[in-house]
Amino acid sequence: MSKKALILAVAVLFGAQAGPALAANPDTGPGCGLGKLAWEDYKGQKEILPQVLMVTTNGTGMNTFAISSGTSGCTNDGKILGEHRTTVFASLNFDALTAEMAQGQGEHLASLATLMGVPAERHAAFFAMTQERYTSLVQAGEVSPVAFVKSLNEAIVGHPVLAQASVR
Amino acid sequence: MLVLLAFLAPLFAPVPSDAQQSDHEPYLQQLIDRAEEAKLAGQREWHLLLHYRKGLFGGYESEQDDPGFFLSPNGKTDPAAELNATLAKFFSDELVGSTRQPAQCAFIARYHWLKERLNFDATRLPPLACERFHRWYEDFEVQSVSLIFPSAFLNNPASMFGHTLFRVDQKGQTEQTRILAYTINYAAQVPPDAGIAFPVKGIFGIYKGYFSTIPYYLKVMEYRDIENRDIWEYRLNLTENQLRRFLMHAWELGNAYFDYFFFKENCSYHLMALLDYADPDLRLTDEFVLWTVPADTIRLITSKPGLVSDIAYRPSRSTVIKRKRESLPAAERDLAHRITQDPSAVSSPAFTELEFPRQAFLLDLASDYMRYRIETTDPPKPEWKARNKAILAARSQLRIPSEEFTVRPFAQRPELGHKTSRVSVGGGWRNNDTFEEASVRAGYHDLLDPEIGYTPGAQIEMASITIRHYNRAAQTRVERATLLNLLSLSPIDSVFHAPSWKVNIGMNTIRYNECQLCSNGLFNAGIGGAKEFRLLKREILFAFAEAEADVSKAYDEMYRVGGGGTVGMLVDLTERWKVMATGTYLKFPLGDKSDDFRWFVGTRFTLARNWTVRLEYNHRDYDNDVLFSVQAFF
């Protein structure tokens, strides 16, 4: 994913919103855009002077993650709302997760397992499971991150070792 | 535990209502009197909270530029008025600042400090609950804080010196899950179409800088995958109380912005200010007067005894690829490369005869290649994605996890490098005269400087001036001055083919026509390629196509513009000894029609980390110059 694609992904995901919101209550209404987000090629022109400082500054992430910025999309004062943490992580790191599932290990995969409540001692089983079901998991992920997390959850529930450990 | 209880106590406290607003006056006056008696407004801690700096002519001014950060109209310049206004606002649940919270919550670090100093009576100044802050605070699950340093990235002007940010490490975090932690990052808010105006606006404080908490996995994606910068992580030893102060003050800064100045009040400077509040004994920001270079802040942090408990290295994708390739015999390197061209090579006997772990290693390397190409090209070719998919599908069939592969960095830790500024003295011959000279350079690093701790092949020189005295001519003059001299050498190979480039803006002294010593303003820019060899130790050969404009009274029509090329090499003979040689030919069809042959040979020997000597020879038409000099970095 190029920088531009990442900016767009963050924007699509969090619903770019200008200025800090006034509400202090979590609002999980529209603006989180997780169900609709699918990975596709973003067409963008090559930037001559590469964009500055950070990918997420560009008007989107800055507000999304600004400290004490109130509620915007899936964030509250710059923190991703608990119920969306797994899906947001899965969608923004899908390329890395795909590679690590094929490779049967990796930090993104370990982090996803942690978010899904798989205890550290069962990570090896989780990694092996994702490698085994690689093709079907990637297909689900190409539909949407929500579908991807859902099939991962189903795989965990149907797994003799992981099912006992899963908290969700 | 008691501390925690004290901290959470406000959660269960009553909320003041407007009915009480009028009867608090006597107690407020009492607090103000006690604060004046204790001279709180003059205390360092108050100045850290409000970012006051002593002005040149006495008095104070805050570095904060957002009016919403001050509760008194004169708060920016009057610490005492701000303190009194803050105390008054603590009695109200009116929403203040850009984040619309009661003052006790918006300025929670101020509140806790004043509460401690003045022993607030909870019945007469009831504490507010501040749920928003507590939810935010709890979400960090803070265990410690790390200072993160992504190394220099010359292709992005804002990242030339590297960048720094904090990561708030979570309880129970492992090496595998640290990407889940939030960062605390200070950056300028730049519109996406800033383009060429960006450097200018960035230097003069036109942009506003804000603090944000971007998840570390996004920063890793940006630096490691997209920009290919190595990351260094320094875990800091802060006490529980210091961590709380750190986060409370970060929350306050979420209310406001500073004008962003690229050279001084930049990402690194305000991070130091945050650490200064966490532990006022550190006194970090006092060290930065004119500019703040991220690597200098790392040097400072690592020089404080016991402050850094652990240093971790996170290689960029390009570093991983290079190290993996180095570890392979040539035949397997070619095989991995063939797979990236045509994934069906995985069914060739050459591949299937290999042991499974070896197959896995080659497929992982092939996928690393593809991801590098996909992430650094915009837009990437669709067939790359298809090939990467095929490679990963084949990899998933092997049913074994990839083995750990330890990657050693090519550049050493930034704090091991020479210091930022340089002064040098020297002497030599020019034509039939002798001279002595002294130079000073604000920053940062040139190709002949010791490379330890710096990004290899990256030259960034800013603001340097050389004064030279000629003995026979009996004149003292500004011999050379550089505003900016950037040069990036990116060795090309089968995977990496980023161009090398250079830009130089400054002046030098020429001998031309009848003029023996004439000042000449120059602008030179070029694009080219570099190739790395390891015949002796490490050699880089490079070539540039370039354009140059010169302005001097020595020329007919005062100027000349032309173009040409440079070839050169940069050779490490030993750890301490480096040689550079270049040859340039330029033809000037515009202005003073002329051409120019130039030779340069320079060699540097390192005496100590911050001490070097050089011998340099410069040749131009009818103009030869030999210089011996000693450099000290400070």
Task: Calculate what percentage of chain A has a pLDDT beyond 70.
Answer: 60
DSSP string, B187-215: EEE--TT-TTHHHHHHHTT-SEEEEE--B
What's residue B601's pLDDT? Answer: 98
pLDDT, average across residues B190-197: 72
Q: Do A53 and B190 touch (CB under 8 A)?
A: yes
User: Could you identify the residue written with the tokens 């340093």?
Assistant: B149
Q: Do A53 and B379 touch (CB under 8 A)?
A: no
Task: Calculate what percentage of chain B has a pLDDT beyond 90.
Answer: 83
Which of A10, A53, A57, A85 to mutate to test binding with chain B, by most B CBs within 10 Å of its CB? A53
Query: Of B191, B378, B401, which has the smallest distance from its Cβ to A44's Cβ?
Result: B378
pLDDT greater than 50 at residue B572 = yes
Q: Do A131 and B399 touch (CB under 8 A)?
A: yes
Query: Of A50, A99, A107, which has the smallest distance from its Cβ to B179's Cβ?
Result: A107
Between the CA of residue B578 and those of A134, A139, B316, B375, what are the distances in Å?
A: 50, 54, 26, 34
Cis bond leading into B369, ω under 30°? no
Q: Do B379 and A44 touch (CB under 8 A)?
A: yes
Model confidence at A143, pLDDT cuts 50, 70, 90, reads confident
Q: Which residues of B touch A141 (CB under 8 A)?
A: none
User: Could you identify the residue written with the tokens 């709380």?
Assistant: B244
Q: Give per-residue pLDDT as tens, B229-256.
A: 999 999 999 999 999 999 999 999 988 8
Q: Which residues of A touch B221 (CB under 8 A)?
A: 1, 6, 55, 92-93, 96
Cα angle, residue B633 at apex, residues B521 and B260 outer, rounded to 5°: 70
Q: Which residues of A touch B203 (CB under 8 A)?
A: none
What's residue A163's pLDDT? Answer: 85
Whether B67 and B256 have beta carbons less than 8 Å apart is answered as: no
**A132: contact with B, CB 8 A cutoff:** yes
Cis bond leading into A145, ω under 30°? no
Model confidence at A32, pLDDT cuts 50, 70, 90, reads low
B150-159, B317-326, B522-531, B598-607: range with lowest mean pLDDT: B150-159
Q: Which residues of A touch B253 (CB under 8 A)?
A: 67
Q: Do B218 and A92 touch (CB under 8 A)?
A: yes
Model confidence at A14, pLDDT cuts 50, 70, 90, reads low
Q: Which residues of B touch A135 (CB under 8 A)?
A: 393, 396
pLDDT greater than 70 at residue A18 = no
**B154: contact with A, CB 8 A cutoff:** no
Taking alpha carbons only, the member of B181, B321, B404, B367 closest to residue A98 is B367
pLDDT, average across residues A104-120: 96
Whether B43 and B280 have beta carbons less than 8 Å apart is answered as: no
What's residue B24's pLDDT? Answer: 87
Residue type, B408: R
Shortest Cα distance, chain A CAs vs residue B322, angstroms:
19
Q: Do A6 and B360 touch (CB under 8 A)?
A: no
Q: Do A103 and B187 touch (CB under 8 A)?
A: no
Shortest Cα distance, chain B CAs vs residue A22, angstroms:
7
Query: Of B202, B213, B367, which has the smallest distance from its Cβ to A99's Cβ?
Result: B367
Task: Calculate what percentage of chain B has a pLDDT beyond 70.
Answer: 96
Model confidence at A62, pLDDT cuts 50, 70, 90, reads low
Choose between A23 and B74: higher pLDDT.
B74
Which of B166, B177, B364, B375 to mutate to test binding with chain A, by most A CBs within 10 Å of its CB? B177
**B174: contact with A, CB 8 A cutoff:** yes
Which of B173, B221, B381 to mutate to test binding with chain A, by most A CBs within 10 Å of its CB? B221
Query: Of A20, A102, A115, which has the smallest distance from its Cβ to B396's Cβ?
Result: A102
H-run or E-run covering B395: helix B382-396
Q: Which residues of B touch A45 (CB under 8 A)?
A: 378
Choose between B13 and B499: higher pLDDT.
B499
pLDDT, average across residues B337-362: 96
What's residue A48's pLDDT? Answer: 23
d(CA B359, CA B365): 10
Model confidence at A70, pLDDT cuts 50, 70, 90, reads confident
Q: Which residues of A touch B98 (CB under 8 A)?
A: 20
**A30: contact with B, CB 8 A cutoff:** no
Using CA coordinates, name the residue in chain B closest to A77: B136
Task: Calculate what percentage of chain A has a pLDDT beyond 90.
Answer: 40
Q: Do A67 and B251 touch (CB under 8 A)?
A: yes
**A92: contact with B, CB 8 A cutoff:** yes
Which of A67, A86, A112 to mutate to test binding with chain B, by most B CBs within 10 Å of its CB? A67
Mean pLDDT computed over every residue of chain B:
93
Q: Which residues of B touch A120 (CB under 8 A)?
A: 174
Q: Give the global pTM.
A: 0.88
Model confidence at A41, pLDDT cuts 50, 70, 90, reads very low
Choose between B137 and B160: higher pLDDT.
B137
pLDDT, average across residues B73-78: 96
pLDDT, average across residues A61-87: 82
Phi and psi at residue B288, to the nearest 5°: -110, 105
Query: Of A43, A105, A107, which has the smallest distance from its Cβ to B401's Cβ?
Result: A105
**Up-side HSE of residue B436: CA atoms within 13 Å toward CB?**
3
DSSP three-state, residue B308: strand
Q: Do B253 and A67 touch (CB under 8 A)?
A: yes
pLDDT greater than 50 at residue A25 = no
pLDDT greater than 80 at residue B353 = yes
- Strand ranges, E, within B127-196: 142-150, 165-170, 182-189
Model confidence at B573, pLDDT cuts 50, 70, 90, reads very high
First to last CA, chain A: 30
Which of A57, A83, A89 to mutate to test binding with chain B, by most B CBs within 10 Å of its CB? A57
What's residue B1's pLDDT? Answer: 45
Shortest Cα distance, chain B CAs vs residue A87, angstroms:
13
**B306: contact with A, CB 8 A cutoff:** no
d(CA A49, CA B196): 7
Shortest Cα distance, chain A CAs vs residue B142, angstroms:
14
d(CA A53, CA B113): 34
Mean pLDDT computed over every residue of chain A:
72
Q: Do B401 and A128 touch (CB under 8 A)?
A: yes
d(CA B230, CA A148): 31
What's residue A165's pLDDT? Answer: 58
pLDDT, average across residues B530-537: 92
Q: Which residues of A touch B187 (CB under 8 A)?
A: 53-54, 57, 62
What's residue B294's pLDDT? Answer: 93
Q: The dihedral of CA B138, B141, B146, B147: what is its sign?
A: negative
A118-122, A152-156, B258-262, B480-484: range with lowest mean pLDDT: B258-262
Taking alpha carbons only, the member of B356, B341, B436, B432 closest to residue B394 is B356
